[in-house]
Chains A and B, each alone.
Chain A
Amino acid sequence: MSEIKKFMYVNRKAPYGTIYALESLEVVLIGAAFDQDVSLAFLDDGVFQLTKDQDTSGIGMKNFSPTYAALGDYDVTKIYVEKESLEERGLTLDDLQHLTYEDEDDDWAEKDSIRLVTREELARIMDEQDVLLSF
């Protein structure tokens, strides 16, 4: 009776200006225990959540960006980043953290979790989801 559903966490907001980025990550971490088919989507300002070199010492807030790097340990292997959203914001993949996971089905080989997709591709992937959580 326990079917596996496709859960997508949709991230469209920048980090730190609001709490949505941080608290959506908390859902992903807890959700990992439920063994569903999980993916994360970063589009619009959500792509800013993944930038490297975040230094929050001057604003007095916790830097939670290392958590993205830990997602691989929580079986999150599908992190979709929208190409057009990056371009519209003058970013490239190089500006983002290099997120990886270890593939247990391939001798624990380290693989990229980030999949760069076009808007059109992401639209199709979103369409296939059972549950979409927006924050």
Chain B
Amino acid sequence: MAMLHTVNKSPFERTALQSCLGHALDGASVLLFEDGVYGALKGTGVSGEVAEAMGRVKFYVLGPDLRARGLREDRLIDGIQVVGYDGFVDLVTSHDNVQAWL
């Protein structure tokens, strides 16, 4: 069973991303959206933690939320996949369940 975890708050404001990574099993997926997209940036205080987690969990970031915040894809940690809302829908249907880390 693979779970889709969603994180919508900035890792610099809330511990939601950390908590998510602490509970995501190997093979799960994490979608960063809304303010959660800041967790996908390279060169931040949490980039190391995220990059390390990428070894066991798949990361996705919502493109529209990145662009809204003026963030270009070349600022993302390598290997994080950018998806649109249609991709968000596909992630939900291709996983067994969804846990929202608010």
Q: Which residues of chain A come closer than 8 Å to B24, judged between CB atoms?
A: 123
> Does B43 make an interface contact (CB < 8 A)?
no
Contacts of B75 in A (CB 8 A): none
- CB-contacts of B21-70 with A (<8 A): 22-25, 28
Pick the residue among A84, A119, A126 that contacts B99 (CB under 8 A): A126
The answer to whether B99 touches A10, judged by C-beta atoms less than 8 angstroms apart, is yes
Chain B interface mostly: mixed
- A127 and B27 alpha carbons, distance in the complex (Å): 11
Q: CA A20 – CA B99 in complex, angstroms?
A: 16
- Partner of A134 from B1, B25, B101 at Cβ < 8 Å: B101
Question: Mostly helix, strand, loop or mixed at chain A's interface?
Answer: mixed
B19: Cβ under 8 A from any A Cβ: yes
Interface residues contributed by chain B, number (CB under 8 Å): 16
Closest partner residue, chain B, to A123 (CB atom): B23
Residues in chain B near residue A84, CB distance under 8 A: 22
The answer, yes or no, to whether A124 is at the interface (CB within 8 Å) is yes
Most buried by B among A10, A123, A127: A127
Interface core residue of B15, B28, B96, B97 (most chain A CB under 10 Å): B97
Binding site for B on A (CB under 8 A): 10, 12, 43-44, 84, 119, 122-124, 126-132, 134-135
